[in-house]
């Protein structure tokens, strides 16, 4: 049975895009409950300056807490070398840096052009190597940018190659804007994999902004992608389209993968129960997903057992 890694990014990607601050204790309950449901990797926060993102000020505390959960891989996002040093000190198992394929977006988001980002990636890779920490690069806006429009696939390939030379150990293709379609997912996965190697091109970070999230997952699965990021309740929405759903919904992703007979190790009923923690800690915040409304498929457990 093929094993698929579902990487929960809600505590970072979900929470960073909403204004409200979730109390540390609620974040801990969320992380512990997802791990207990069988989630093996969680991005618990990001090491950005607390003045910029007060929601992420407790990331070091969360890393310390999450490291105490057996079998859980603890990931954090780092925007630069300074953040990477803090992440290493906090004791993350893995860190990832977002590298926007749109230079306009990169300048706006991290105030760095592509050469400056590649220098930062090299510096982060060095910190990660010295600390023995896994280091991934997220190729964000790879499927299109709200500011630049279409992003050339050749450019994505070239920047991925340069990031690999700078020391990236693994890549994800990120549909930051919800523009990806299954044909494009197939093409881009193939091209980047050919450039950096199949062992490095492992992950898709998809959004469900236009309802194509799961279709894009299937395209990725057919191309051999083994890791998918998702956010419980699709938390976070889409920063570029107020009111629209954003991140791929973890519950819907797990329902589909389990139903397809792929091994996630995640118990859907227990995962669905975790939503209650979010609903209580963030009253009024929209939570997305079809499975939570419809309930699990009647026969999904029998299929798992088969
Ligand atoms: Zn996202």
Q: Is 41 helix (H, G, I), strand (E, B) or coil?
A: strand
Distance 83 CA to ligand 1 centre (A): 19
pTM, two decimals, is 0.95
Cβ–Cβ under 8 Å, residues 78 and 89: no
Catalytic position from the list 128, 137, 151, 238: 238
Averaged pLDDT, 118-145:
97
Averaged pLDDT, 225-232:
98
Instruction: Give the pLDDT band (50/70/90) at residue 150.
Output: very high
Distance 64 CA to ligand 1 centre (A): 24
Cβ–Cβ under 8 Å, residues 143 and 156: no
Distance 151 CA to ligand 1 centre (A): 18
Rg of the chain in Å (alpha carbons): 18
Q: Read off the CATH number of the domain in which 123 is found.
A: 3.20.20.70
Distance 298 CA to ligand 1 centre (A): 30
Distance 183 CA to ligand 1 centre (A): 20
Distance 246 CA to ligand 1 centre (A): 7
pLDDT in tens, 45-60: 999 999 999 999 999 9
Averaged pLDDT, 194-210:
96
Residue 136 pLDDT > 90, yes or no? yes
Cβ–Cβ under 8 Å, residues 11 and 21: no
Instruction: Give the pLDDT band (50/70/90) at residue 170.
Output: very high
Q: Is 301 helix (H, G, I), strand (E, B) or coil?
A: helix
Q: Could you write out the three-class secondary structure of 204-224? A: EECECCCCCHHHHHHHHHHCC
Instruction: Give the pLDDT band (50/70/90) at residue 19.
Output: confident
Q: Whole-angstrom Cα distance, residue 242 to residue 217? A: 24
pLDDT in tens, 257-286: 999 999 999 999 999 999 999 999 999 999
Q: Across the chain, where does the E strand assignment appear?
A: 5-8, 41-46, 73-77, 94-100, 134-140, 170-174, 201-205, 227-230
Distance 248 CA to ligand 1 centre (A): 8
145 catalytically annotated: no
Q: How many structural domains compose the chain?
A: 1
Distance 213 CA to ligand 1 centre (A): 11
Domain that holds residue 162: 5-305
Q: How far is CA 34 from the centre of its chain?
A: 15
Instruction: Give the pLDDT band (50/70/90) at residue 33.
Output: very high
């Amino acid at each position: 049975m093929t094993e698929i890694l579902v990487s929960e990014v809600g505590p970072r990607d979900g929470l960073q895009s909403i204004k409200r601050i979730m109390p540390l204790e609620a974040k801990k309950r969320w992380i512990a409950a997802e791990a207990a449901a069988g989630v093996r990797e969680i991005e618990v926060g990001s090491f950005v300056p607390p003045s910029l993102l007060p929601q992420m000020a407790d990331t070091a505390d969360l890393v310390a807490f999450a490291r105490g959960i057996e079998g859980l891989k603890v990931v954090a996002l780092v925007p630069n070398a300074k953040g990477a040093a803090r992440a290493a000190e906090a004791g993350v198992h893995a860190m990832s840096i977002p590298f926007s394929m749109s230079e306009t977006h990169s300048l706006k988001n991290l105030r760095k052009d592509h050469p400056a980002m590649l220098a930062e990636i090299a510096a982060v890779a060095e910190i990660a190597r010295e600390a023995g920490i896994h280091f991934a690069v997220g190729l964000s806006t790879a499927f299109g940018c709200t500011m630049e429009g279409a992003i050339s696939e050749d450019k994505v390939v070239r920047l991925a190659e340069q990031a690999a030379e700078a020391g990236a150990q693994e890549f994800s293709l990120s549909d930051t804007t919800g523009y990806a379609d299954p044909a494009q997912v197939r093409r881009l996965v193939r091209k980047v994999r050919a450039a950096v190697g199949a062992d490095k091109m492992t992950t898709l970070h998809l959004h469900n902004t236009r309802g194509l999230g799961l279709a894009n997952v299937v395209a990725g699965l057919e191309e051999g992608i083994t890791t998918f990021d998702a956010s419980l309740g699709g938390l976070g929405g889409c920063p570029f389209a107020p009111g629209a759903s954003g991140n791929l919904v973890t519950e819907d992703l797990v329902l589909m993968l389990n139903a397809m007979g792929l091994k996630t190790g995640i118990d859907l009923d227990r995962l669905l129960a975790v939503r209650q923690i979010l609903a209580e800690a963030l009253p009024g915040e929209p939570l997305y997903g079809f499975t939570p409304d419809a309930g699990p498929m009647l026969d999904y457990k029998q299929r798992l057992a088969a």
